[in-house]
Structure 1
């Protein structure tokens, strides 16, 4: 007989329109995910001599960043940018830029070209145009996008109940990035939009812990994307989307 948690995993796998790869521990997940990311980047390097990796912040991807940093790729031809950023200085503890520079852009990966979302503009809305201009310089579609997910169902900085969420999730928007002020999290933020993120050659949701699997189960149980923005990705069968999960 399955334990209640094993039943949750079975339920999520059955309802998900995309693959879910589960691992017994984080170390096994990181090894497998590093191989997937590096293989995808290498294919793009072989085909067009450049590649783009989009990453997210938080504590979950740190072991992945450390593993990737030592991977033997032509990192000088790899662009790295963020799915979202808090509108704080780079030296702020909450800066995703600081996280990426200290955890990913080390060792071999220190040769990569980093494109941050935070600009010198006096405020976030004034910085949107220059951020968009920088993003337009990157070859699209992106090769790999790595997303996280909060327990409220947000991903990147596509948060429930924000004024820009509708446009951020709209498949028809021509905006590459938008600002937002999450009601349940500190700092104004800048986020890439759903069309830009979801059009990547490979979109990966990297989550860990039983709580995140329960959040995923909740997201799969209803349709309203405004309540849980991760549903936009879960409900779109046309994108190349895969979930990597470990306890």
Structure 2
């Protein structure tokens, strides 16, 4: 991994947004299209705020979450809701959202349709990931029910995932999709997560799921 340390979070969020917008621009110029995958949660919100004001051909950018909780979009825990509020607005409003949620009781019932919608937009041009202190990324949690299958080289692009730490059932991008991304960034803050990612670099993906991408990742950290 390539580690980037910043003097404060504000500068990190700004620089990371600039890096992502530059890489999306490169993909648009080279291919006429780009796919951006981003995490949920509140940490990347400032990156989204900056990106939403960047002038580019957002109509040719597809955006997909790394993972989603199986809750309705009006639920405060919905990652899709956060994405609409912070990224898919202003100049970025024309971007196409690739859904990771459907109106079914369980994620398993919707998997085939969601995979069908995702596959035409792979590989991911720019992948932004977060990481928990337990070293999970997306919804690849240590000890999750389908973790081993999701880490396998022949895993489907999306899988349902359940884990004690996850709360609700989840749907997640799997390791082969994450590893196939053309550019990979990991955003973390605080001393505990820095220690965790340094520990993850010495562990297997089964023990530390973030390890599945660290050999190709740019890690961005601020206290």
Q: TM-score range by the shorter chain?
A: over 0.9
What stretches of structure 1 of length at least 5 have no aligned partner?
A: 1-17
The normalised TM-score by structure 1 is 0.87
The normalised TM-score by structure 2 is 0.96
What stretches of structure 2 of length at least 5 have no aligned partner?
A: none
| 8 A Cα contact 2:148 2:206, kept in partner | yes
Aligned: 1:228 with 2:208: yes
- Please name the residue that 1:105 is paired with: 88
1:208 aligned to which of 176, 189, 192: 189
- Please name the residue that 1:12 is paired with: none
Aligned: 1:82 with 2:65: yes
Question: What whole-Å deviation, never above 9, does each CA across 1:77-123 have from its counterpart, x for those lacking one?
Answer: 11011110000000001000000000111110111111120012232
- Please name the residue that 2:221 is paired with: 245
| 8 A Cα contact 2:139 2:166, kept in partner | no
Q: How many pairs are equivalent?
A: 223
Which structure has the larger Rg? Answer: 1
Within 5 A, what are the aligned runs for 1:57-96?
Answer: 57-96=40-79
Say which SS state the counterpart of residue 129 (structure 1) adopts.
helix
Say which SS state the counterpart of residue 179 (structure 1) adopts.
strand
Question: Matched residues in 2 for 1:71 and 1:81: separation?
Answer: 18
Aligned: 1:134 with 2:117: yes
Question: Matched residues in 2 for 1:35 and 1:171: separation?
Answer: 32
Question: Matched residues in 2 for 1:121 and 1:137: separation?
Answer: 23
Question: Matched residues in 2 for 1:165 and 1:230: separation?
Answer: 12
Question: Matched residues in 2 for 1:55 and 1:119: separation?
Answer: 19
- Please name the residue that 1:11 is paired with: none
